[in-house]
Amino acid sequence: MKLRKKLWLYGGLIPAGIVAFDQLTKAWALGKFSVPHNICALNPYPGNHIEISSVFDLSLVCNQGVSFGLFREHADIGRYALTIFAIIMAIVLLFWLNKEKSKLISVSLGFIIGGAIGNAIDRALYGAVTDFLNFSDIGFKWVFNVADMSINIGVAGLLLSMFFQWRAEKAASATTDKNTES
């Protein structure tokens, strides 16, 4: 795939779609709670909850830290540091994407870039990331959003790619070992 087309698709179109879907779902959730989009800037602990089913609920959580609320001790410092970190990581991942030949890794990087940018927008504008998807009724205690899912899907894709590469290398090594024995 030509470089320009690859960067457009994996580094542009996929992340842009994820950012758009992430921001739309956050706006939808905030509308369901009838709160302003800047609720996290106004009240970092809104505590709103809507029971949807025995498996899934909507719960408004303003995450001032990183994934699963880690590193939220210094809200103002963290806000800017994490926003800058997300932007730098997106740029680094674009450089990686530029050199990548694997489609699975390229798609995975696109998902991570989109998720990082989606959460960086919230953090830059409101000081916290809006989380609202809640599966605590089935034991998953963390509340998350589409950007978080995207990052996790991207990381899973990278791990899957590493597994496929490991299997291919193991098979090639086994073939080489058989040929040297003959």
Burial 109-127 (b: 16+ CB within 10 A, else e): bbbbbbbbbbbbbbbeebb
Alpha-carbon gap, residue 172 to 166, rounded angstroms: 10
131 is catalytic: yes
User: Torsion over CA of 127, 78, 132 and 45, rounded to 10 degrees?
Assistant: -70
Q: Which of 76, 122, 131, 137 is catalytic?
A: 131
Q: Which of 57, 76, 122, 148 is catalytic?
A: 148
Handedness of CA 108, 111, 115, 117 (dihedral sign): positive
148 is catalytic: yes
Q: In 3D, which of 109, 108, 82 has the Cα closest to residue 95?
A: 109
| Catalytically annotated residues | 131, 148
